[in-house]
Amino acid sequence: MAVRKKLPGRDVLELTVRAWGGDPAYWLTRRREVEAALSKATVLRLQMTRAQGTQNSTTQDNNSPMRTRQIRRISEIPVSSHFDALRSQRIDDARQALGKMGFDSARSSERSAYVLLSLLNLKPEQEWKNAQMPILRLTEMMEWIREEYKRVYAPNTQEMMRSLIIRGFVDSGLIIQNPDNPDRPINSSRWCYQIAQPSHALLRSYGTPDFDRQTGEHRRSQV
């Protein structure tokens, strides 16, 4: 499996080009063009998996009762009404983003939204442009959801979460596995995930015309 490399940050790129005696404006424009192209490619890949995801969901509903059980929360942590409003808004945003990127209702659920937000390290009070790219194991995602969104899921639902949510995100290219060590054994306790860079670039633009344009263009092309 090839290691996916990140684009250089704007500040690093500008400093490097200046050191070479080049024109930073030209290379920053080129970087934006590459970032836009990567984001568009991500939308295409995600939309292409929508039909497959829907078919798999139907198969699981008919043939695998265990997979259709709801992932239950085992407790509720008291929160203020202000926090609850921020949390609800961020979850709604995440579900809408997943829907616009081509995920069916089963893969744009509340729990899917929490997984996505953990992989963006996006807290309730933060804007989408602040999304990051942490590398997390599934247990760390669940801990993050508990700490930042005050939602607690039963420990024995971890594997169900992996099969119902994580696998679909990996298959669609939304996230990647083991970016720090692609050759990690499949039974390793350090198996981890990270948002794919094109997905990250696209999601940072959520709530802007650019996000709607990129996802809308692909939907129209499929009509």
Of residues 121 and 31, more confidence is placed in 121
Read off the tokens for 18.
């200046």
194, 134 contact by CB (below 8 A): yes
Task: Give percent of the chain with pLDDT exceeding 70.
Answer: 74
What domains sit in the chain, N to C, each tagged with a CATH number? 10-221 (1.10.10.1820)
Interval 129-154: pLDDT, tens: 999 999 999 999 999 999 999 999 88
Cα–Cα distance between 147 and 221 in angstroms, integer? Answer: 41
Angle formed by the axes of helices 110-120 and 138-149, nearest 10°:
100
Q: Mean pLDDT across the stretch 154-173?
A: 90
The pLDDT of residue 3: 43
For residues 108 and 95, is the Cβ–Cβ distance under 8 A? yes
Q: What is the pTM of this model?
A: 0.70
In the chain, DSSP assigns E strands to 73-76, 151-153, 175-177, 193-195
